[in-house]
Amino acid sequence: MNKIIKTKLTINNLKFTIRESGEENKGSLIVFLHGFPESSLMWESTMLYFSDNGYRVVAPDQRGYSAGARPEGIENYSMDLLANDVVSLAQELGYEKFHLVAHDIGSLVGWTVAAKYPEKLLSWTSLSVPDWPAYVWALQNDPTQREKGAYVSRFQVPGESEKLISSNDYAILKKLWAGFDESEIASYLKLYSQEDMLTSVINWYRALFQIKNQVDYSVITTNTVLIWGNKDLAISRAGIERNASYMKGKYEMVELNASHWLTEFNNDEINELIYNNISGKDFG
- Position 38 in a domain: yes
- Position 80 in a domain: yes
Q: Please check whether residue 237 is in contact with residue 152, taking contact to mean a CB–CB distance below 8 angstroms.
A: no
Instruction: Tell me what pLDDT residue 214 has.
Output: 82
- Least Cα distance to 70 among 24, 13, 119, 112 occurs for 13
Determine the Cα–Cα distance for residues 124 and 35; give it in Å rounded to an integer: 16
Quickly count: other Cβ atoms within 10 Å of residue 284's Cβ: 4
Name the pTM for this structure: 0.97
151-177 pLDDT, tens digit per residue, is 999 999 989 999 999 999 999 999 999
226-254 pLDDT, tens digit per residue, is 999 999 999 999 999 999 999 999 999 99
Give the rounded distance of the alpha carbon of 256 from its chain centre: 18
- Position 92 in a domain: yes
- Position 283 in a domain: no
Quickly count: other Cβ atoms within 10 Å of residue 41's Cβ: 19
- Position 235 in a domain: yes
- Position 40 in a domain: yes
In this structure, of 128-137, 149-158, 259-268, the range with the lowest mean pLDDT score is 149-158
Domain span holding position 205: 5-278
The total of structural domains in the chain comes to: 1
CATH of the domain at 260: 3.40.50.1820
- Position 191 in a domain: yes
182-204 pLDDT, tens digit per residue, is 999 999 999 999 999 999 999 99
200-236 pLDDT, tens digit per residue, is 999 999 999 999 888 999 999 999 999 999 999 999 9
Instruction: Tell me what pLDDT residue 212 has.
Output: 84
Query: Crossing angle, helix 160-176 and helix 182-192, to 10 degrees?
Result: 170
